[in-house]
Amino acid sequence: MTKSLLKPHRVVLIFLCVAIIAYCILALNWSWLADPEYQMLIVKGVWWAIWLTALTMGVGMMLALPIGLAQAAGPWYLSWPSRIFCTVIRGTPLLMQIWLIYYGVGSLFPSVPWIRDSSLWPLLRQGWPYAVLALTLSAAGYEAEVMRGAFRSVPHGQLEAAKAMGMPRFAILYRIWMPQALRRALTTIGGDTVLQLKATPLVSTVTIMELYGAIRKIRSDTLIIYEPLLLLAVIYMAMTGVIVMFFRWLERQTPVRLA
Amino acid sequence: MICPSASQLSSLALLGFGDCGWGAVLLAGFVNSLLIAIGAYALGFIIGITGAFGKLYGGPVGRDLWASYTTLVRAVPELVLILILYYAVPGLINEMLVSIGHGRIDLPQFVTGIIVLSVVQGAYQTEVLRGAIIAVPQGQIQAARAMGMSPAQVARRVIFPLMTANAVPGLGNQWLNATKDTALLAVIGFAELSKATYLASSATKAFFTFYSASMLLYLIMSLISIYFFGRIEKWARKGQRSSAR
């Protein structure tokens, strides 16, 4: 590791890199970072990005398993709706899906009296339930496509062997088919988790003060153009790095030998 | 002409091309989206080809520079990159023009949009094309070298024809991403399909009608693209041994 960093051209590049970072730190205007209000906004924003990514990816994955299975092995009345769902989700921009759910569904609710009077109404007046729904459906659509391929890629002999051992169908699914499919899909799921994190700034367009929304507020308050955006890029890169390392660790924890 | 209020118009009238319909606005937005996507995709392809060869054969410095470009761009959300570049690109170009003694110019939003999206596209296409080049069997390249071909000839006669089939699926995905990424330009106020939909629906309050209609447009564009990329892949795989499935 250190040896590969010490090649002459790398030393020069690292030096240049450090120089650029030093220039950014010294020459640009970072005084706004000292304001506790802005610090709080950024910390809260990071927390929003983390829990939005984790929750929507987790629930989306749970939806993706049955949808992917339906496409890989289901009868036509299950596989066709699943395929249409995946095509629509993957074929339209996420921003439009978020807007459709927030403005479209959200504008229907106030006209329905029993929803207005229900105890859920204060919740439904906020933006985040719609954002969570849109991001979850999007994750489900993309991951279902991944799982479809993963379910198909498990060798048929494995399933036949399980059947020959007299396993019931659900035991085959839970003990043989799903674990092998998930292991095969793990790398792709890791990459898609990064994509999901990178999709979270879109929800700031529906009034949520997540990380990007916080930075936008700082920019419009202080009229500083570049510096908050640079900080934003650095924070996202750090979070991407954490996700990549987490999935690498996860891959090491699971047995690799695939039949 | 005075239009009746939006709630009295049918969905068809709202989407139509008449005086009270928003069809023309949506269609103009759609054409803008398509043009931006094509421009960004083409420019991104040039960056991608350069980057893929640079990353593989560019010498130690070129390799590291291209690697940092693709890593940086792919780790930052597209929306954030678009915003950074949206402010940075016109500034940089103007500074360059001033330094060569030219006056400042006002870069049209359209051109800025294409440049900004092509930087994103270029990073992803670099990775797709690099993978496609690696997948060309090493023996083919060695054989071409042994025949005495120059590196340019090897690239033109052996690497390009053989990598095409490997690259088409990935490039197809990137084209779909390019069309969908144009929606992000709505956030910086560019009048493409999403922005047009947003304007039309907030003016008429017919949210479902407009969002469904423009999502259908995006979907049709995706389906047609998927069909054509399938045809291209079939054409590119012509004469290759099909792998046993």
Site of tokens 């995709």: B41
**Residues A192 and A142 sit within 8 Å (Cβ to Cβ):** yes
HSE-up of B177 (CA within 13 Å, CB side)? 19
ipTM summary value: 0.82
- CA distance linking residue A170 with residue B109, whole number of Å: 56
Put simply, the answer to whether B180 touches A94 (Cβ < 8 Å) is yes
Q: What pLDDT was estimated at residue B151?
A: 87
**Phi, psi values for residue B237, rounded to 5°:** -85, 0
A interface test, pick of B7, B78, B79, B184 with most A CB neighbours within 10 Å:
B79
- CATH code of the domain made up of A35-253: 1.10.3720.10
Is residue A237 less than 8 Å (CB to CB) from chain B?
yes
- Average pLDDT over every residue of A225-253: 90
pLDDT 10s digits, A24-64: 888 888 888 888 889 999 999 999 999 999 999 999 999 99
Give A-chain residues touching B198 at CB under 8 angstroms: 99
Site of tokens 């198909």: A152
B244 against A188, higher pLDDT: A188
Which residues of chain B are under the pLDDT cut of 50?
Answer: 1, 243-245
Put simply, the answer to whether A97 touches B215 (Cβ < 8 Å) is yes
Q: How confident is the model at residue A4 (pLDDT cuts 50, 70, 90)?
A: confident
Nearest-CA neighbor of B47 among B109, B127, B108, B111? B127
Q: Which fold has domain B19-236?
A: MetI-like fold (1.10.3720)
Q: Which residue in the set B64, B77, B214 is minimally distant from A198, CB to CB? A: B77
Q: What pLDDT was estimated at residue B244?
A: 40
What angle, 0 to 180 degrees and rounded to 10, lies between the N-to-C axes of helices A36-73 and A211-222? 150
- Average pLDDT over every residue of A168-194: 91
- CA distance linking residue A83 with residue A70, whole number of Å: 9
Put simply, the answer to whether B80 touches A201 (Cβ < 8 Å) is yes
Q: Which residue in the set B76, B182, B207 is minimally distant from A237, CB to CB? A: B76
**Residues A14 and A5 sit within 8 Å (Cβ to Cβ):** yes
**Residue of chain B with shortest Cα separation from A98:** B211
- CA distance linking residue A15 with residue A17, whole number of Å: 5
**Residues A64 and A146 sit within 8 Å (Cβ to Cβ):** yes
Q: What pLDDT was estimated at residue B9?
A: 66
Report the sign of the C-alpha dihedral through residues A239, A240, A243, A246, in that order.
Answer: negative
Report the sign of the C-alpha dihedral through residues B34, B16, A84, A138, in that order.
Answer: positive
Nearest-CA neighbor of B229 among B161, B162, B172? B172
HSE-up of A55 (CA within 13 Å, CB side)? 14
Give A-chain residues touching B79 at CB under 8 angstroms: 201-202, 212
- Average pLDDT over every residue of A149-166: 91
Q: How many CB atoms lie within 10 A of CB B136?
A: 17
Give B-chain residues touching A90 at CB under 8 angstroms: 176, 222
pLDDT 10s digits, A71-106: 988 899 999 999 999 999 999 999 999 999 998 888
A interface test, pick of B176, B180, B190, B227 with most A CB neighbours within 10 Å:
B180
| Domain positions in chain A | 35-253
Q: What pLDDT was estimated at residue B112?
A: 86
Is residue A87 less than 8 Å (CB to CB) from chain B?
yes
Q: What pLDDT was estimated at residue B245?
A: 40
**Residues A96 and B207 sit within 8 Å (Cβ to Cβ):** no
